[in-house]
A and B are shown apart, each in its own frame.
Chain A
Amino acid sequence: MSSLYERIGGAAAVDAAVDIFYRKVLADDRISDFFEDVDMDRQIGKQKAFLTMAFGGPNNYDGKSMRDAHKHLVARGLDENHFDAVVENLANTLGELGVAAEDIAEVGEIAGSVRGDVLNH
């Protein structure tokens, strides 16, 4: 059986998803403040790492670096609700791209598995 990453469409799917996903995140008042001052071109590169990871693809991130990447955001108040909002935007993005519901659920699980690291619990 093919992997989740392959079923979703691999690197091409990441490319297709990144603009849609980041547009949703920037337009979402619940979380947009966290992205206010970040450089868009650099952040789009990082979003690709985010998506690759969430799609179960090859990535270079472990719990420790997820913790480090978001520590300063936790200090600014990043919490469960923000986390859920990001996962919701991700699910909606995949829905728009025609990804199957079971696969979206699996993406949600992968994202959920780093919740403790991202929120520095």
Chain B
Amino acid sequence: MLQALHGSPPPDSQRGLKLNLKQQNFFLPCICFPEADLQIGNDSRKQVAATVTRKFARSPLVVELHLSPETDIPYRAGQHINLLCRIDDEDFVRSYSLSSHPGVDEDLVLQIALVDGGKVSAWIHDSLAEGESVAMQMPVGTCVYSCVSVEQPLLLAGVGTGLAPLYGILRDALHNNHQGPIHLFHGASNEQELYLNREFDLLHSSNDGFYYHPVVRSEAGQRGISQKSIEESIACLATSLEGWQVYLCGNPKFVKQLQKHCFLLGASSKEIFCDEFVSAQN
């Protein structure tokens, strides 16, 4: 699969692709017979320096980082970037989702969870300071607002900092004047980790069709939130997801199981968009 940066690939070369990929001009080169000029390429490896303009705690576990890159960087809400850091003479690359919206936020915004034993997240939480510079790569990722009709109901669900890209996608939907209902589910280990609840309450009061559904773990001692509790909350909302668009972000297990669940409830496989956070070894 390749992406056209300029020009549109012929529809036949996009046969069977998911809706979001089609809209972002991805195509299958093996069945592509261009009818006009197509420019293809990939600059995702390009590196730029960015200054930390702001850093603050969103919750006990999540820190928010605002980055101002040295050059203007085009991106879609919901994409992610690689940060390249050097800690104790060792190089690390970590992928973080953007929670910012290019039409609303001046800076790139990341929400970064402190990972148990995670060297990079600890370094970001404890050492990285406002005014310092970090290296990053260009934003990539296909889990972005991809509606054909603004009337379509949307389901957004994430656990932990899986909320970050969803916050961007949500505001992109509102920015595009989305008319259908939008339901956002956030699973967290406790109330304090529902780190955007105030923002969502505000968005709810200014947007008729937007609903925020916080879900916290019920049993004490259980680690993290299970997708089951989110499934139960979805069940209270709709018996069928036929015609819905679904956006899922978080750890792979959560995303895969909820993807299957939403598919069985009637969502089209082409309209379930997933962003899995794979955690690094250290």
Task: List A contacts of B274 (CB < 8 A).
Answer: 41
- Contact pattern, A 42-58, Cβ under 8 Å of B = 1, otherwise 0: 00100010000000000
Instruction: Please judge, given known A-B contacts A18-B269, A22-B269, whether A40 and B16 are in contact too, CB under 8 Å.
Output: no
Supplied contacts A23-B264, A40-B263, 7 more A-B pairs, CB within 8 Å: A15-B15, A19-B263, A22-B263, A23-B266, A26-B260, A40-B260, A41-B18
Contact partner, A39, options B256, B264, B268, Cβ 8 Å: B256
Task: List A contacts of B259 (CB < 8 A).
Answer: 40
Count residues of B near A (Cβ-Cβ below 8 Å). Answer: 12
Closest Cβ of chain B to A59, distance in Å, is 15
In the complex, A11 has a CB within 8 A of chain B: yes
Chain A's closest residue to B252 (CB) is A39
Contact partner, B263, options A11, A26, A39, Cβ 8 Å: A26
Instruction: Please judge, given known A-B contacts A11-B15, A48-B16, whether A19 and B268 are in contact too, CB under 8 Å.
Output: yes
Chain A's closest residue to B270 (CB) is A19
Within 8 A of A (CB), among B213-261: 256, 259-260
Complex-state Cα separation, A101 to B93, whole angstroms: 57
In the complex, A27 has a CB within 8 A of chain B: yes
Count residues of A near B (Cβ-Cβ below 8 Å). Answer: 13
- Chain B residues with a Cβ under 8 A of chain A: 15-16, 18, 256, 259-260, 263-264, 266, 268-269, 274
Contact B256 A40 (CB under 8 A): yes
Complex-state Cα separation, A22 to B269, whole angstroms: 10
Complex-state Cα separation, A94 to B149, whole angstroms: 29
Contact partner, A19, options B18, B256, B269, Cβ 8 Å: B269
Complex-state Cα separation, A19 to B263, whole angstroms: 8
Task: List A contacts of B256 (CB < 8 A).
Answer: 39-40
Chain A's closest residue to B16 (CB) is A15
23 A-B residue pairings within 8 Å (CB atoms): A11-B15, A11-B16, A15-B15, A15-B16, A19-B263, A19-B268, A19-B269, A22-B263, A22-B269, A23-B266, A26-B263, A26-B264, A27-B264, A39-B256, A40-B256, A40-B259, A40-B260, A40-B269, A41-B18, A41-B269, A41-B274, A44-B269, A48-B16
Instruction: Please judge, given known A-B contacts A39-B256, A40-B269, whether A23 and B263 are in contact too, CB under 8 Å.
Output: yes
Chain A's closest residue to B274 (CB) is A41
Please list the 7 inter-chain residue pairs (A to B) with the smallest Cβ-Cβ separation, ordered nearest first: A44-B269, A19-B269, A40-B259, A40-B260, A19-B268, A27-B264, A26-B264
Complex-state Cα separation, A87 to B236, whole angstroms: 34
Within 8 A of B (CB), among A11-42: 11, 15, 18-19, 22-23, 26-27, 39-41
Chain A's closest residue to B268 (CB) is A19
Q: Of A23, A26, A48, which is in contact with the most chain B CB atoms at under 10 Å from its CB?
A: A23
Task: List A contacts of B18 (CB < 8 A).
Answer: 41
Chain B's closest residue to A24 (CB) is B264
Chain B's closest residue to A47 (CB) is B269
Closest Cβ of chain B to A65, distance in Å, is 19
Task: List B contacts of A11 (CB < 8 A).
Answer: 15-16
Task: List A contacts of B260 (CB < 8 A).
Answer: 26, 40
Task: List B contacts of A40 (CB < 8 A).
Answer: 256, 259-260, 263, 269
Task: List B contacts of A44 (CB < 8 A).
Answer: 269
